[in-house]
Amino acid sequence: MRNSGPFRSVLIFGGAGFIGSNWAHHLLRNTDAQVHVFDNLSRQGVTQNLADLRKAAGNSGRLKITIGDVRDYELVNRVVSTATDIFNFAAQVAVTTSIDDPRHDFEVNLGGTFNILEAARLSGNRPFLLFTSTNKVYGDMRSEPLSSTRWRHEYTKETGTSESQPLDFHSPYGCSKGAADQYVRDYARIYDLPTVVFRMSCIAGARQFGNEDQGWVAHFLYSALLDNPLFIYGDGRQVRDVLCVEDLVHAFEAVRANLKRTAGEIYNVGGGVENTVSLLELLREIKRFTGCEVRYQFCAARPGDQLAYITDYSKLTQHTGWRPRVSVRGTLERIHDWWLNHRDLFDPQAPVEAPTAADLQEVREAA
């Protein structure tokens, strides 16, 4: 059912990516909001995502697309000026890439976020701003006591990681995202911007093009379906809590609807204790679900990898009533259904995507 209410102009940085396109699609289908997608089209699948969003928007005139980079302050300032809601998903997302090119990681994750914050501050409109951070801001958490079995590592404590966990940045990626989330929080305190930070665990679901650096749940499933071998870094007993992107979208709604309580806050967001899985356990579940054996080999552990991370999302529940609804199995089913309808996108012989003529026209119109 479509929600009506005060006029909303929602600007989504990284709006053609996995999380951004799911959020944009939800807004177009379920609200009357104007949706402005800002993306540099650097990620796999974004052209298809834009096509899907255009289809969802139809002839409503509610979708605008700007092809640009968050490092371009003048362009960022222009698009922010009329927004009532801003969602910053634009990021360099891989720890490995941040180690190889820390300057690029810094300029996108911290510099880009700073550009958005400054544009929001100077607009004078006090737009709502949500920034997606990461559990990597808590470091490798090796000081947390663990117990281990054949299949998994896990905390000896029964609850997950809360927002009171000390920050401990490991890797340039952890530094850039952690510094950015502190800037977002401070702009709420110093400039009275209604901002919210989500420190997220493993997000998975439809429209995700997973690889070994990001989106590992989808990557493991696609590898099984396509009979592609994969590498497991470490012993495979690393544990994460999985959150379906559908539940994340509902979390976005929840904090926006409860802004008097949520403005200026930081929330750990994930599937929680009830949705944990290790790498080895996921491979076993994929075999049960698909009947496909996953071929893999072990490699050395990556620097800064957490042996276990499980989200304590109780603060978000207390403030908004939100909690996850989709199980790990349900998330796998959603990814699988989406893959079945988009198998051509995974054809290794398919041509490399390029911006369409319509996309390039939108660049000129935005300039």
Q: Tell me which residues are annotated as active site.
A: 173
- Using only C-alpha atoms, the chain has a radius of gyration, in whole angstroms, of 20
In eight-state DSSP terms, residue 111 is I
DSSP run (H or E) holding 274: none
Q: Is 194 in contact with 320 (CB distance < 8 Å)?
A: no
Amino acid symbol at 303: P
Listed residue (268, 252, 242, 269) closest to 163, CA to CA: 268
Question: How many C-beta atoms lie closer than 10 Å to residue 17's C-beta?
Answer: 29
The angle at the Cα of 253, spanning 119 to 11, to the nearest 5 degrees, equals 30
Residue 271 in tokens: 């599937």
Listed residue (207, 176, 212) closest to 88, CA to CA: 176
Residue 336 in tokens: 């699988």
The torsion defined by the Cα of 105, 106, 112 and 115, in degrees rounded to 10, comes to -170
What angle separates helix 172-191 from helix 112-123, to the nearest 10 degrees? 10
The angle at the Cα of 181, spanning 171 to 38, to the nearest 5 degrees, equals 100
Residue 268 in tokens: 């750990």
